[in-house]
Amino acid sequence: MAAYINRFAWFVALAAIVLLAYAVPYLFLSSVERLAGAFLFWTLFGGCAVALIIYATTRWRV
């Protein structure tokens, strides 16, 4: 049961980050004229994506 919950949480995290990658630039940053808002978002997005990948790969078993 714990493995199922862990997989579901992993799927939710990935789905959320993919949805944010599409929603934030088109919905929330479309009216921002400065590049700083987009730079901040993509920096945070990249950090979250890297953290998720590191978390996923450190738990792999060979």
- With 80 as the cut, is the pLDDT of residue 42 above it? yes
Comparing 32 with 3, the larger pLDDT belongs to: 32
* Pick from 8-17, 41-50, 52-61: least confident: 52-61
Comparing 59 with 15, the larger pLDDT belongs to: 15
- With 60 as the cut, is the pLDDT of residue 1 above it? no
Residue that is written with structure tokens 């479309």 in the block = 30
Domain boundaries, the chain: 2-58
pLDDT in tens, 13-31: 888 998 988 998 888 877 8
Query: Helices 35-58 & 2-23, crossing angle to 10 degrees?
Result: 160
Question: How far from chain centre, in Å, is Cα 49?
Answer: 5
Contact status, residue 14 vs residue 55, Cβ threshold 8 Å: no
Buried b (16+ CB within 10 A) or exposed e, 20-46: beeebbeeebeeeeeeeeeeebeeeee
